[in-house]
Amino acid sequence: MNGVTTPIVIDTDPGVDDAVAIMLAIASPEVEVKAVTTVFGNVALDATTSNAGRLLALCERADVPLAAGAARPLVHPQRGLAAEWHGTDGLGGRAAALPAPAAPDGRTAVELLADVLRASDRPVTLVPIGPLTNIALLLAVHPELAGRIGRIVWMGGSLGAGNTDGFTGGPPPRSAEASTHQTRGGGVAEFNAHCDPEAAHRVLTQADVPVTMVPLDLTLRCPAGPEWIDALAAAGPRCAALAAVITHYRAAFRERYGIDAVAVHDAVAVLEAVLPGTLRTTAKPIAVACDLGPARGATVGMPEGSGPPVQVALDADTDKVLAEILERLRRLG
């Protein structure tokens, strides 16, 4: 670390893996969390905002400005939430057990993002870990600020199988062949892209800001198993609270995939923002299916030259990724 911290903003829909990601960022001295902005997604905006505020309070970081953004997608209605995975409160039924939420800022997410970009003396890394609606709106309202964004690191998309079953927004019930289901996944669209394909199209295909996309193809290869979760739970009260939040998510993975492990999707993306280059990327134009058919939200790798390249993270030392995330979380106690 050269001693210079990277300013970041996390745009999030907490969400259990979002909770892991937010706490990872707070625990990482390489980045300065300049703001947290919220978006609809796993659960509705009021819950994602309250959850983000609770997580900041849990980490005694109510100083971090928090602002709510989009309550719904840009064009077509959201086709399904992910409460079956994240609990109806978005934090595995444990939201009320966390501290009272830090109060949101009076600004909207777009206003707060713009203010952070204007005020920063260094390019800001934006880390959206939910639908890309707020980022698309920011780029539409403030095109003059695109040059102040160092890069966007997005958890979302999938070049292979998705994790939505087309219309409900959640994976289908566990298949008879659990292992086959794991490899094929559910549907063709990944949840964050599925929530707002038009926003994903805007951000991924118009080249005004460098984008690193962290898709399911990699995040599903980073399963946090029992030893990881137990070590987290034993690391202190904040980590124990996070481990309790994970419990419902863990049961959902066990029930649907037949494995005792959880995908910490969003934390993998945050780790890339914290330690650039941790994930190995391939430059590839991405197309997003924005029709209203069953493939809506699919993200497809396209031929070189067919559009601006996106840095798609397809490989990493997955054991090292999980160990690094855990080691940092444990610093929170």
Residues labelled as active-site residues: 265
Q: Which is nearer to ligand RIB, 165 or 190 (CB)?
A: 190
> What tokens does 70 get?
């989009």
CA–CA dist 177, 221 (Å, integer): 19
Does 129 engage in binding with Ca ion (CB under 5 A)?
Answer: yes
Which residues ranging from 224 to 283 are in contact with ligand RIB (CB under 6 A)? 265-266
Contact with Ca ion (CB under 5 A) among 18, 105, 190, 324: 18
In 3D, which of 327, 305, 324 has the Cα closest to residue 316? 324
Give yes or no for a contact between 208 and 143, defined as CB atoms under 8 angstroms apart: yes
Which residues ranging from 95 to 134 are in contact with ligand RIB (CB under 6 A)? 129-130
The distance of closest approach from Cβ of residue 86 to Ca ion in the complex, given in angstroms and rounded to an integer, is 9
Tell the burial category of 310 from Cβ atoms under 10 Å away from its Cβ (0-12, 13-18, 19+).
Answer: buried
Phi, then psi, of 141 in degrees rounded to 5? -80, -30
Q: End-to-end CA distance of the chain, in Å?
A: 23
Which residues ranging from 27 to 86 are in contact with ligand RIB (CB under 6 A)? 41-42, 82
> What tokens does 266 get?
């969003």
Q: Which is nearer to Ca ion, 6 or 42 (CB)?
A: 42
Give yes or no for a contact between 212 and 307, defined as CB atoms under 8 angstroms apart: no
Segment near ligand RIB (CB under 6 A); pick from 9-17, 113-121, 247-255, 297-305: 9-17
Residue nearest to ligand RIB (CB): 191
Q: Which is nearer to ligand RIB, 78 or 120 (CB)?
A: 78
Sign for the pseudo-dihedral over CA of 248, 250, 253, 254: negative
Which of Ca ion, ligand RIB, none lies near 163, with the C-beta cut-off 5 to 8 A by kind?
ligand RIB
Where would I find the H helices in the chain? 16-26, 45-58, 83-86, 109-119, 133-141, 178-184, 191-195, 197-205, 216-219, 226-233, 237-257, 265-274, 318-330
Residue 66, classed as helix, strand or coil, is strand
Q: Which is nearer to ligand RIB, 27 or 129 (CB)?
A: 129
Concatenated DSSP letters for 158-199?
A: -SS--BS-SSSSSPPSPPSSHHHHHHH-BSSS-HHHHH-HHH
Does 191 engage in binding with ligand RIB (CB under 6 A)?
Answer: yes
Does 170 engage in binding with Ca ion (CB under 5 A)?
Answer: no
Does 130 engage in binding with Ca ion (CB under 5 A)?
Answer: yes
Does 223 engage in binding with Ca ion (CB under 5 A)?
Answer: no
Q: Which is nearer to Ca ion, 91 or 145 (CB)?
A: 91
Which residues ranging from 274 to 333 are in contact with ligand RIB (CB under 6 A)? none
Contact with ligand RIB (CB under 6 A) among 11, 105, 165, 190: 190
Does 15 engage in binding with Ca ion (CB under 5 A)?
Answer: yes
Does 154 engage in binding with ligand RIB (CB under 6 A)?
Answer: no
Which residues sit at the interface with ligand RIB, rule CB under 6 A?
13, 15, 17-18, 41-42, 82, 129-130, 155, 163, 190-192, 265-266
